[in-house]
Chain A
Amino acid sequence: QKEVEQNSGPLSVPEGAIASLNCTYSDRGSQSFFWYRQYSGKSPELIMSIYSNGDKEDGRFTAQLNKASQYVSLLIRDSQPSDSATYLCAVNRNGNQFYFGTGTSLTVIP
């Protein structure tokens, strides 16, 4: 079983819609959860961190964490073509133990 699992997509949404990205993790001891955005040919860029159950909002982005169900999600409201990228879910288990999912490719169609 992989540490972190994501649907690889591709996920396509029309401009202005809500994009919903999901991630599950295997270790209940995981403590910190992150979403990264990676444009083609670029390095990952941190967009959201979440540490406790519930929702965390930052602009058009909302991260949701449910530790009981071991999933993390990212909602992107009012999706823009510039949001087209691969989104990586990452989980920190214990200090230096950091695991990435394989990423979900998102395309926002104008």
Chain B
Amino acid sequence: SAVISQKPSRDICQRGTSLTIQCQVDSQVTMMFWYRQQPGQSLTLIATANQGSEATYESGFVIDKFPISRPNLTFSTLTVSNLSPEDSSIYLCSVGDRFNEQFFGPGTRLTVL
């Protein structure tokens, strides 16, 4: 399976600021996704990052709050904008394969003060 890295691994941010998370894959992948995992909870899909076009957002998530870029088949960024303490969470990118399996990066732990 692909090797996935995320940067930063963790950050502490002030309310009202933004954080951009990078996801790098060591091979070209078609399907790339962004998830949120709030403390003690399961994973919630934020959006599918589409190469060369706008991301596809799930219900409850909007582009203004979670802008996503996917400039090529190995890289994507997720920005969490106008941070509030409710955004404190772990953010995970994942990649999908032709069997619909998904493999996750190590995650970014965000704390908003």
Contact = CB atoms under 8 A, between A and B. Distances in A.
Interface string A74-102: 00000000000000101010011011111
B42 A103 contact: yes
A69 interface: no
Contacts, number: 47
B69 to A, nearest CB: 18
28 contacts: A31-B100, A32-B101, A34-B101, A34-B102, A42-B106, A42-B107, A43-B104, A43-B105, A44-B92, A44-B104, A45-B104, A46-B102, A46-B103, A49-B99, A88-B42, A88-B43, A90-B102, A95-B100, A96-B31, A96-B48, A96-B56, A98-B100, A98-B102, A100-B43, A100-B44, A102-B41, A102-B42, A103-B42
Interface of B: 1, 31, 33, 41-45, 48, 56, 90, 92, 96, 99-107
